[in-house]
Amino acid sequence: GQQVMQIPQYQHVQEGEDFTTYCNSSTTLSNIQWYKQRPGGHPVFLIQLVKSGEVKKQKRLTFQFGEAKKNSSLHITATQTTDVGTYFCAGATTSGTYKYIFGTGTRLKVLA
């Protein structure tokens, strides 16, 4: 079945350092979404990417969708302690039901 993997699984950074998480799908995606989940919380939507090669920015966050629509990345510039949490990508299949397959997640810890 379709799989979505993320690396790294964990990342500890000093406050002010940059952070990147990578998402790879075994199949071509129709679109990809990114979510942030704080400890004890629920996933909160960050962004959706649809087009091949698309790049979107939200303040310190930069999201990319690969040309083949099978991989994506999230880059955070100058991390802050408020960035702590687990970041998930979620890829939609092309089946038309928009069934989202979540990645394995990257847990980010920011040390002050």
Partner 1 sequence: ETGVTQSPTHLIKTRGQQVTLRCSSQSGHNTVSWYQQALGQGPQFIFQYYREEENGRGNFPPRFSGLQFPNYSSELNVNALELDDSALYLCAAAGYNEQFFGPGTRLTVL
Sites of contact with partner 1 (CB under 8 A): 1, 33, 35, 41-45, 48, 88, 90, 95, 97-105
Least distance between partner 1 and beta carbon 33 (Å)? 7
Nearest to partner 1 of 85, 103 (CB atom): 103
From 6, 4, 22, select the one nearest 91 (Cα to Cα). Answer: 4
First-last CA distance in the chain: 41
Considering the complex, state which of residue 15 and residue 58 has its C-beta at the smaller distance from partner 1: 58
Report the nearest approach of partner 1 to the CB of residue 15 (Å): 25
Task: Tell me which amino acid residue 79 is.
Answer: T
Of 12 and 18, which CB lies nearer to partner 1 in the complex structure? 12
Least distance to partner 1, CB of residue 58, Å: 13
Spatial CA neighbour of 17 closest among 64, 71, 58, 60: 60
**Residue 93, CB-side half-sphere exposure with 13 Å CA sphere:** 9
